[in-house]
Amino acid sequence: MFSGNIIRFIHVGYTVFNASNKTLLSKLRKQTGYTFANCKKALELNDYNYSLAEKWLQDQAQQLGWSKATKLEGRITAQGLVAVGMEKNNAVIVEVNCETDFVARNKNFSSLVELAATTCLNHTASVPVGSHLSRFQLDAEILKSLKVHDGKTLSDHLALVIGKVGENLSLRRATCFHAADGILLAGYAHPSPNFQSSVLLGKFGAVVAYQADSPSQSDTKLRENLSVDEIGRQLCQHVVGMNPVKIGEVGQDTPANNPDDESCMIYQEYLLDPSQTVGEMLASTSISVLDFARYECGEELLENTENNSSKVAVEIGG
Amino acid sequence: MAICRIGFAVFKKTALYQVRTLSLFLNESKYNTQVKLCCDERYWEVDWSDQQVRYLTSKTVPVSDDIKHCNVGTIGHIDHGKTTLTAAITKVLEEEGYSRFVSYEEIDRAPEEKARGVTINATHVQYRTKMRHYAHTDCPGHSDYIKNMISGASQMDGAIVVVAATDGQMPQTREHLLLAKQIGIKNIVVFINKVDLVDEDVVDLVEIEMRELLNDFGYDGIVTPIIRGSAKLALQGDNSEMGKKSIISLMKAIDEHIPTPTRDTTSPFILPIDDAFTVPGRGTVVIGTLERGVIKKNDEAELLGFNVKKSTSVADIQIFKKSVPSAEAGENLGVLVRGVRLQAVERGMLLCARGSMDISNCFESEIYFLTKSEGGRSKPVTSKYIQQFFSKTWNILCRVDVKEGEMIMPGEHARVIITLLRGMVLLEGQSFTIRENNQTVATGIVAKILPSVSLINTKLHKVQIPNVHN
């Protein structure tokens, strides 16, 4: 075991630890942020040469992270963040988990989630796609093996952060959308965090793919106050808040008896204006929803639901 | 069966809520449906299985059994030994003859708790030192501590921050201290754990770093006690400096550094009114428990609440039918007020030193919306949410506004702005609930009083509300 090695090392390889060494240790710890045990080991192995020790730590960081990751493997990760990344005609929604929500609020972790989202975006852009709307799922194994811009894999980066925060972390899942011209994508994450980031981060996330027909005379008035983009964002907010199971189709699906149990999006009360249903709102603004994805951090997943819905999505898109 | 001592007014009006809270506090009564209360110098019995409050006995309670109480909690990284430390504290204090030992396993598998209907993942352990009785809380996550604070399950007077000497502070230690700030913890004691695994020099550095970090977060890094030890050794019965003795110094530091919450007797007095009646030939008497300060005969006073601001003065003070020249916070009393007609007084109003308080109908609040399984809503809340607001002995229509364009999902807590139909006196930290169709859907505390907003024709939905910050 890793920690066992350190203890043994300190006990056996005891050297006179004077005041200047103490300053070095303090400085190294401040600069690198690695644990005291590791900083001390780095200094001892490098004869208290600061730059060598720092280099050793950086070289070892990956390995130290991996050994910590192996040690913590299997511990339950039910907290975390959902990230929604958008770029041109691509959108991704990614979930990364950790053990406590303290870590979920920490910058080290949120940067990792941002990195995962942008990596998935790049991956989506590189995959050859069909002519309409394509959607595909990335599971934990694929996510781990994705290459980041610096040549390392996402799981390497994951291990580095595990080494820093000392909690088990896991890349759980991602859904990627690639839209052809004319199809719009909107994303939303809730609750919106207090800090700025390149992607949207929250406990919930949604991506909606929709089409906006050119509005007729009367519709222009309805859309007057809201741009199509804003309606897209509100649709995502609706998906997060009302948790629809499917979009639904007039004629095929019937509204539920109790409006509170409605799981068909078009029959649900529109979150931002409960006086109308989503279907009515869409009709009045000449917008049609093609597909959506909703992530709730830590939610239980039913087997294969994602696969089924992606099939439906392809059919709608095609 | 637990015995609690609370103010009479609190007991009379909101006994069920208070009792639930108190029983959670006292842990042992968790599995009982009955609690014995000591109140108005008599014992009362409360049975909330059928929501009944029964008078038990008129036996007067000896005052001397009063022991000071303090609420503490542990915060720290999951692998730094919080649970071991808690177990070690109970073990050492048991040896000292004050407490019952609670094993690691018992603390670890604590069931979920419900306070005011809110499910909280929390462990409550109680122990005693020579000086005080402690309720010790440990929660796994940030949101559990927030829920704990909002629902009032156990307000923490101080925190023990646990940090392992092997690792030093972690990146998320910043989040731990931010939390402590957020839930209003003013005093912290640090326990550096696992010191048996590293050299003393490293422990020195861990301590220096912790002191710097405490300063960064507005705590006093110089006077904050930092205790070094090994909870594991203490638990194993080691009597060395690192073992048992470190736990004893930790408890001593907590006894000394975290002050017992005291009744405020120096601020201007506040008397929330529970009831009022007329004494023929004399005038109107208002009844309540003095919340803070000292009230004296002939004090200039003001009657506030429900948009009313009426100047008056204290003609007489009575405690247990005896006239007294003055009374201190915590006492249940009747006040004869000059020039006030009975019709002008409503339950929920407040009598205070003239000019010391003001009414407002708008404030910021920290609120938690119950999940559907807790009996709350199934849908999120957006702005202009209008429902009935309950606090202390009064209730009134209110409107809840969230940050522009945002929403609150059931099970989430957030900062919101609440506007009441009429101006009331609100105190920071005052708790309230919001009910919809006779179901509690939210519970919260007042965070910051804002200037009143004017309501035209009492139409809440038309008011312009200031933006929610944060």
Q: For residue B423, give the CATH number of its domain.
A: 2.40.30.10
CB contacts < 8 A, A to B, total 108
**CB proximity A29 to B under 8 Å:** yes
CATH number at residue B216: 3.40.50.300
Q: Please report the pLDDT score of residue A210 as a whole number.
A: 93
Q: Are residues B224 and B82 in the same domain?
A: yes
- What is the distance in angstroms between the Cα of A242 and the nearest Cα belonging to chain B? 6
Tokens for B19, please give them: 């009792």
- What is the distance in angstroms between the Cα of A131 and the nearest Cα belonging to chain B? 34
Q: List, for residues A253-307, the tens digit of each pLDDT value.
A: 888 888 778 889 999 999 988 889 999 999 888 899 999 999 999 988 765 444 4
Asked whether residue B468 is assigned to any structural domain, the reply reads no
Determine whether B196 is an active site residue.
no
Asked whether residue B187 is assigned to any structural domain, the reply reads yes
- What is the distance in angstroms between the Cα of B451 and the nearest Cα belonging to chain A? 25
Active-site option among B66, B79, B108, B204: B79
- Residue by residue, pLDDT tens for chain B (470 residues) are 334 444 433 444 334 334 433 433 333 333 344 445 544 444 455 544 444 444 443 334 333 345 788 889 999 998 899 999 999 999 999 998 888 898 888 887 766 666 667 777 888 888 988 888 898 988 888 988 888 888 776 678 999 999 999 999 999 999 999 999 988 899 999 999 999 999 888 999 999 999 999 999 999 999 999 999 999 999 999 999 999 999 999 999 999 999 988 778 889 999 999 889 898 888 999 998 898 999 999 999 999 999 999 999 999 999 877 899 999 888 889 999 999 999 999 888 999 999 999 999 999 999 999 998 888 998 999 888 999 999 888 899 999 999 888 899 999 999 999 999 999 999 888 889 999 988 889 999 999 999 998 887 777 877 777 766 54
Query: Which residues is B286 bridged to in the sheet?
Result: B276, B335
Last residue of one domain, picked from the residues B231, B257, B283: B257
Asked whether residue B262 is assigned to any structural domain, the reply reads no
Active-site option among B114, B142, B186, B297: B142
Q: Are residues B438 and B371 in the same domain?
A: yes
B205–A26 CB contact, under 8 Å: yes
Last residue of one domain, picked from the residues B39, B60, B81: B60
Asked whether residue B470 is assigned to any structural domain, the reply reads no
B202–A36 CB contact, under 8 Å: yes
Last residue of one domain, picked from the residues B227, B257, B287: B257
Closest C-alpha to A183, from A135, A240, A126, A148? A135
Q: Are residues B300 and B444 in the same domain?
A: no
The ipTM, to two decimals, is: 0.79
Which of A2, A3, A36, A296 to mutate: most B Cβ within 10 Å? A36
Determine whether B401 is an active site residue.
no
- What is the distance in angstroms between the Cα of B158 and the nearest Cα belonging to chain A? 19
- Out of A102, A164, A260, closest to residue B175 by CB: A102
B176 vs A contacts (CB less than 8 Å): 102
B414–A191 CB contact, under 8 Å: yes
Asked whether residue B220 is assigned to any structural domain, the reply reads yes
**What is the spatial distance between Cα B45 and Cα B19, in angstroms, rounded to a whole number?**
10
Q: Is B349 exposed, middle or buried (0-12, 13-18, 19+ CB in 10 A)?
A: buried
A6 vs B contacts (CB less than 8 Å): 166
Q: Are residues B334 and B387 in the same domain?
A: no
Q: Are residues B394 and B451 in the same domain?
A: yes
Which of A68, A97, A102 to mutate: most B Cβ within 10 Å? A102
Q: Are residues B106 and B189 in the same domain?
A: yes
Determine whether B142 is an active site residue.
yes
- What are the residue ranges spanned by the domains of chain A? 2-61, 79-316
Q: Does domain A79-316 have CATH number 3.40.50.300?
A: no
Containing structural domain, residue B10: 2-60
Asked whether residue B264 is assigned to any structural domain, the reply reads no
Closest C-alpha to B135, from B2, B270, B244? B2
Asked whether residue B410 is assigned to any structural domain, the reply reads yes
Q: Are residues B139 and B210 in the same domain?
A: yes
Q: Please report the pLDDT score of residue B115 as a whole number.
A: 66
Q: What mean pLDDT is predicted for residues A209-238?
A: 74
Q: Using 50, 70 and 90 to split pLDDT, how confident is the model at A148?
A: very high
Tokens for B6, please give them: 């609370």
Left (φ > 0), alpha (ψ -120 to 50) or beta: where does B405 sit? left
A117 against A250, higher pLDDT: A117
B409 against A35, higher pLDDT: B409
Q: Are residues B50 and B91 in the same domain?
A: no
**CB proximity A294 to B under 8 Å:** no
Output the 3-class SS for B158-204.
EEEEEEECCCCCCCCHHHHHHHHHHCCCCEEEEEEECHHHCCHHHHH
pLDDT, mean over chain A = 83
Q: Please report the pLDDT score of residue B54 as a whole number.
A: 47
B170 vs A contacts (CB less than 8 Å): 164-166
Nearest 5 degrees, angle CA B173-CA B178-CA B180? 95
- Out of B209, B379, B470, closest to residue A242 by CB: B379
**CB proximity B136 to A under 8 Å:** no
Which residue type is seen at A213? D
Number of domains in chain B: 4
A37–B166 CB contact, under 8 Å: yes
- CATH class of residue range A2-61: mainly alpha
- What is the distance in angstroms between the Cα of A241 and the nearest Cα belonging to chain B? 6
B179–A102 CB contact, under 8 Å: yes
Q: Using 50, 70 and 90 to split pLDDT, how confident is the model at A222?
A: low
Q: Please report the pLDDT score of residue B140 as a whole number.
A: 84
Chain B residue at shortest CA distance from A37: B166
- Out of B171, B175, B179, closest to residue A33 by CB: B171
Chain A residue at shortest CA distance from B144: A101
Say if CB B36 and CB B69 are below 8 A apart.
Answer: no
Query: Which residues is B163 bridged to in the sheet?
Result: B192
Closest C-alpha to A233, from A17, A128, A86, A45? A86
**CB proximity A8 to B under 8 Å:** no
Q: Are residues B104 and B206 in the same domain?
A: yes
Q: List, for residues B324-363, the tens digit of each pLDDT value.
A: 999 988 888 999 999 999 999 988 899 999 999 999 999 9
Q: List, for residues A238-247, the tens digit of each pLDDT value.
A: 999 999 999 9
Say if CB A175 and CB A203 are below 8 A apart.
Answer: no
Closest C-alpha to B292, from B335, B351, B336, B345? B351
B380–A241 CB contact, under 8 Å: yes
Asked whether residue B147 is assigned to any structural domain, the reply reads yes
Q: Are residues B455 and B410 in the same domain?
A: yes
pTM for the model stands at 0.79
Q: Are residues B205 and B219 in the same domain?
A: yes
